[in-house]
Amino acid sequence: MDLYDVMRTTFAAREFTDDPLPDEVLGRIFDNARFAPSGGNRQGVHITVIRDRDTRRRIAELGIATARRYFAQLKAGENPWNPIHPSNVPQEVIDSTEIPDTFVAPLVKAPVLLVVSVDLGVVAAVDQNLDRVGMAGGASVYPLVWNILLAARNEGYGGTMTTMAIPAEEQVRQLLGIPDAHAVMAVVPMGKPTRQLTKLRRRPVAEFITRDRFDGAALMPELQCRVSRR
């Protein structure tokens, strides 16, 4: 596939056929995705490939509590898990909130589950002393995850990056034998999508890219109408 076609059609795949994802294909995906950048080229990411159904189900279960809060906050009109605006939803409401099957089924039904972790001993978290949630360390991880999803799309497969299991990091570590120095960064179900989307909805360039300043003029205002129709 053309690079731009891959970029424009790589969607969050959550429904998969019964087709397997062979090691040979996974090998090509990883062999190409590994060229993603990381801070200092330290390449501290480790990926655990899980095919065992019971293990996949357990990881899915470890994310349920996180998902309950997510959907309870959505129902209350809040932005889920927002680091600036704390939740006002009572814990008993969160505990009784039902979650859609789409938050559990992909991890159980996908033929392959990737658990992505990173060695904190080699991560440059340059924002660690700021009075906000740290984000910079993800720059050494998520480009690789996205490369994996792009490569999977190119091979006719797909997946989605999930983070619901991260609050249960200690249990995930124990389940998979992940060292204490590693942070769990993502769980990625992958397989053959039941359908391949070709048109994705995204904000047009003119809405979020500006010149010289955050409040500057749109970089390419002429794209506003043309892009928004896609």
Give, to the nearest 10 degrees, the angle between helix 23-33 and helix 142-154.
130
pLDDT at 199: 85
In the chain, the amino acid numbered 30 is F
pLDDT at 225: 46
Closest alpha carbon to 73 in 42, 101, 99: 99
Q: What pLDDT digit, counting tens, does each position of 130-189 carry?
A: 999 999 999 999 999 999 999 999 999 999 999 999 999 999 999 999 999 999 999 999
Q: What pLDDT digit, counting tens, does each position of 69-105 carry?
A: 999 999 999 999 999 999 999 999 999 999 988 888 8
Using an 8 Å Cβ cutoff, are 168 and 62 in contact? yes
Is this prediction's pTM over 0.95? no
Helix (H, G, I), strand (E, B) or coil at 147: helix
Percent of the chain at pLDDT exceeding 70: 96
In the chain, the amino acid numbered 34 is R
Number of H helices, E strands in the chain: 10, 4
pLDDT at 228: 45
Percent of the chain at pLDDT exceeding 90: 84
